[in-house]
Amino acid sequence: MPRTRPIAAGAAAALALVWAAAQASAQTADYPQPDSRENIQDWVLECFDAPVGQCQIYQRILINNGSAIALVATFAWDEARQAMRTQIALPLGIDLEKGATIATDTGYSIAVRLSRCTQQGCLIEGTVPEDLLQAFSRGGSASISVTNPGQGAFAIPLSVKGFAEAMARIRPARAESTAPAALGGAAVAPAPQPAPPRIPAPPDPSAADPEKRYRPVTGNE
């Protein structure tokens, strides 16, 4: 697993309780079971047959010894718009006005607006520019930085190990996202039809590795 930089203790404590409670109530009963699931390094590929065939990739990051979720990043190909769509759920309680910054170890960085907050968390959602996808494909690690009011900014780590292979499985060969760099400009438009990627249900905290403060987890954990 890649090395990650821990969330500041105060920020983690402030956010994790809200996040864990929201995830437990909002996702466990409603999340549909995929027809297939495959681990691709630190990403999970899921496919759903109904209502129409659709696949997505996701990664989930745990904190507090696996008892809470810090981030869920999900990507799916939109054939109609010829673009990759994303929905990234972050903890409730972060500063919406300051948004988020997505960065990789290759030096790529993009400022992102948070579109809305739901019981699932505060969301980054919309179409993804090709340069961000390529940065994820070339990098080894990434992070999403947000601000907790009164406690300052902190970065949530995200592994991009396996992202290039996983992305190739859900979008047509030689296709590139035609989405403009909207994620770094005005408020991100909600993902169009078909339905947005599904945020996976939280894992069983008892299965978490107590030696890791956070780590990517797969669909089987």
Average pLDDT across the chain, whole number:
74
Handedness of CA 127, 220, 103, 173 (dihedral sign): negative
- Domain membership flag for residue 2: no
pLDDT band, residue 120 (cuts 50/70/90): confident
Dihedral in degrees, nearest 10, Cα atoms 121, 204, 58, 125: -10
pLDDT band, residue 35 (cuts 50/70/90): confident
CA–CA gap between residue 173 and residue 65 (Å, rounded): 39
- Domain membership flag for residue 100: yes
- Domain membership flag for residue 119: yes
- Domain membership flag for residue 144: yes
State the pLDDT at residue 200. Answer: 53
What's the mean pLDDT in 163-186? 72
The CATH number assigned to the domain holding 171 equals: 2.60.40.1880
- Domain membership flag for residue 134: yes
> What is the tally of structural domains in the chain?
1
- Domain membership flag for residue 34: yes
Containing structural domain, residue 185: 9-202+213-217
Neighbouring C-beta atoms of residue 20, cutoff 10 Å: 18
- Domain membership flag for residue 208: no
What's the mean pLDDT in 152-169? 95
- Domain membership flag for residue 116: yes
State the pLDDT at residue 197. Answer: 53
